[in-house]
Amino acid sequence: MTSLAGNVALVTGASSGIGAATAVALAAAGARLVLVARREDRLRDVATAVVAAGGSALVVPADVSDAGQVDAAVRGAAEEFGRLDIVVNNAGLMRMGPALQASLDDWNALLAVNVQGVLNVTHAALPHLVEAAADSPRGVADLVTVSSTAGWVARPGTAVYSLTKFGVNAFSEGIRQEVLGKRVRVGVVGPGTVDTEIGDSLPAEARAALERNTAGMEKLRSEDVADAVVYMVTRPRRVAINHMLVRAAEQTW
């Protein structure tokens, strides 16, 4: 495993779940962390865990759907640490339910976080990644987006959620081809069913449907997805892992 010592990693959606676990895992691999999410109190708890793992952390409260907040967060991180080597687009929102009963506000919220948020972060961070890759001891910088198995398989009740995940997969592939000559690797990790709080905000009916679909399944843990992200960014420069699906062992879709 390539050490991440001296590298700076920015993780969005870092206040809980996959984002928090990824931040701690990157710190354990040697990276300094920039933690981005809306909930500052939760970010400070994660920062404590990062320090316990041997790293250091900068807490930056920001909403990824707001381009101005994202620009300020990325610029502040680069000024604080002098570089930006790894970006993990993890912030995400899940809404489920039949289209005939869906709220247009819910659909727009999915687009704002899952698509516009990824665009905002990538646009702000990409120049810094290119710059860091030019003098990195690893010889490379990394942009990773946490997608979903819903970005490969669409199912009833997840039409717009899948739209957002298929979309960021395609976006990532296009960006990958643009920047590979600049020593920036672009990868997508697609988790299956993970035991996180992302489903807690679902309406009761949708939450019950999700629980029925996953009954008896041993769900992934956030740390399992974090392991995949760390594996991706710690490969030697010659290795680019562009897509990784990580499903719960009993998951069929």
Pull the structure tokens for residue 221.
């843990």
Q: Residue 251 and residue 136: Cα distance in Å, rounded? A: 39
Q: Can you tell me the distance from the alpha carbon of 26 to that of 5, in angstroms, rounded to the nearest whole number?
A: 10
Q: Is 161 a catalytic residue?
A: yes
Q: What is the DSSP letter of 69?
A: H
Burial class (CB in 10 A: 0-12, 13-18, 19+), 109: middle
Catalytic residue among 20, 140, 150, 161: 161
Q: How far is CA 233 from the centre of its chain?
A: 13
Q: Exposed (0-12), middle (13-18) or buried (19+): which is 251, by Cβ within 10 Å?
A: middle
- Cβ 188 vs Cβ 148: under 8 Å: no
Rounded to 5 degrees, φ, ψ at 217 are -85, 135
Strands, E assignment, 117-230: 141-146, 184-191
Structure tokens at 207: 């939450």
b/e per residue, 20-41, with b = 16+ CB within 10 A? bbbbbbbbbbbbbbbbbbbeee
For residues 189 and 168, what is the distance between their CA atoms, to the nearest angstrom? 11
* Residues acting as catalytic residues: 161
